[in-house]
Amino acid sequence: MLDIKSIRENKDYFISGLSKRKIQNPDSIVNTLIDLDNNRKILKTNLDNILSQSNSKSKEIGINVNTGNSAKIDKLKKENASLKQKGKKLKIKLTSIETKIDELLYSLPNIPHENVPYGEKKEDNEIIFETKKIPVLKEGKAHWNLIKEYDIIDFELGNKLTGAGFPVYINKGAKLQRALINYFLDEAIKKGYVEIQPPILVNENSGFGTGQLPDKEGQMYQIESENLYLIPTAEVPLTNMYRNQTLENKFLPIKNVAYTPCFRKEAGSWGSHVRGLNRLHQFDKVEIIQIQTPEKSYETLEKMCNHVESLLKKLELPYRILKLCSGDLGFTASLTYDFEVYAAGQKKWLECSSVSNFETYQSNRLKLKIKSGKNKVLAHTLNGSALALPRIMASIIENNQTKNGIKIPKVLTKFTGFDLI
């Protein structure tokens, strides 16, 4: 959530940033917010004055009770009752204004970082690196054919048990999945991340804290009887661990990693172009998050990207890195790098990771601050997929297919116990 105080102090910056996001009439929105905040301040000042007067009247009543001046007491009580009535009316108006401000702020995306390229769609994303050698297979098969041939993932069985988009991993397919999870966790731990095993159900406050609510209810599976949500990513519980906290500067950065299953409805995105593992309702992912000072957050973003890149290099997968344009940037992000792996059987690039800096957008909602001396500032939050498994699996299966079977990347064989499917 954008910070109203910052909007007041940097009006032109926010108008420009919202314009880059293609928000209609950003100047009108910003001016409306400032006007509402002006009214809020006036109402708050008037309410504080009335409460102060009421407190003084209450003390004066107490003094007169001791002297037995009943006439004076009756007069003071009437005056105090009138003040309280005015206070109630002002409180209602103040709450209404605050609600309008919050609702308007909730509707606004984060401001893009100055390095975010302008664009309206994914084709406008900036490719900043691409592997030189892309595998070319004369008779390459897509993974949805190979998994049937080698009996390692069963979509029909998943459909029987649950529905479309819920695959069942079998034998060496399950072992390869587990190997990737262990590999990703171990590599993150080597880089100083603390492993966490969080709940996969979160409450409404947690969904709000990281920006999934009130924006993305349609993409999340909800347990309506208990008002809980299945997590779309481990980012939600990992970041919300620090909700309503003030952290000491000396303990930063906080670096956590978690493996969880993730659940997404992916409403409106089903079709032939997302066959097999390309898009699922349930999938496994290893997530890294960091909480950092504003001064160091973009240095941290670079380090997180380097970590994700190192995983892809060690898996010997062809990959590319994209800087997302303003039109493709996530609602809560300030700057995002996407990582894509190439799938030779499909002859297409598949996104496998997004690494983002949210600056203060999440921490403002979370009320997550950093204390340095006497000063308190909002923290910067960052996260990244390191990595999401389905498209990594698809890339491994397609790129490493041979006449004799599917070769397992060398870094995984100590986890799988085999080098060929």
pTM above 0.95, yes or no: no
Residue 172 C-alpha from the chain's centroid: 32
Torsions phi, psi for 323 (to 5 deg): -95, 120
Instruction: Give the span between the Cα atoms of 236 and 244, in whole angstroms.
Output: 15
pLDDT of residue 70: 76
Q: Does the domain made of 122-416 have the CATH classification 3.30.930.10?
A: yes
- Check if the beta carbon of residue 160 is closer than 8 Å to that of residue 166: no
pLDDT of residue 59: 83
Q: Virtual CA dihedral for 184, 187, 188, 193, nearest 10 degrees?
A: 140
pLDDT of residue 217: 65
- Check if the beta carbon of residue 61 is closer than 8 Å to that of residue 76: yes
Please return the burial class of 139, using the count of CB atoms within 10 Å of its CB with bins 0-12, 13-18 and 19+: exposed
Token couple for 72 = 């004076």
Instruction: Give the span between the Cα atoms of 414 and 231, in whole angstroms.
Output: 31
- Check if the beta carbon of residue 195 is closer than 8 Å to that of residue 258: yes
Print pLDDT tens along the chain (421 aa).
Answer: 999 999 999 999 999 999 999 999 999 999 999 999 999 999 999 999 999 998 888 888 877 777 767 777 778 888 888 899 999 999 999 999 999 999 999 999 999 999 999 999 999 999 999 999 999 998 899 999 999 999 999 999 999 999 999 999 999 999 999 999 999 999 999 999 999 999 999 999 999 999 999 866 678 999 989 999 999 999 999 999 999 999 999 999 999 999 999 999 975 555 546 799 999 999 999 999 999 999 999 999 999 999 999 999 999 999 999 999 999 999 999 999 999 999 999 999 999 999 999 999 999 999 999 998 888 999 999 999 999 999 999 999 999 999 999 999 999 999 999 999 9
How do strand 222-223 and strand 348-359 relate by DSSP bridges?
unpaired
The residues spanned by each domain of the chain are: 4-106, 122-416
Closest CA to 331 of 298, 300, 362: 362
pLDDT of residue 218: 76
H or E stretch covering 375: strand 375-378
Residue type, 96: S
What CATH code is assigned to 4-106? Answer: 1.10.287.40
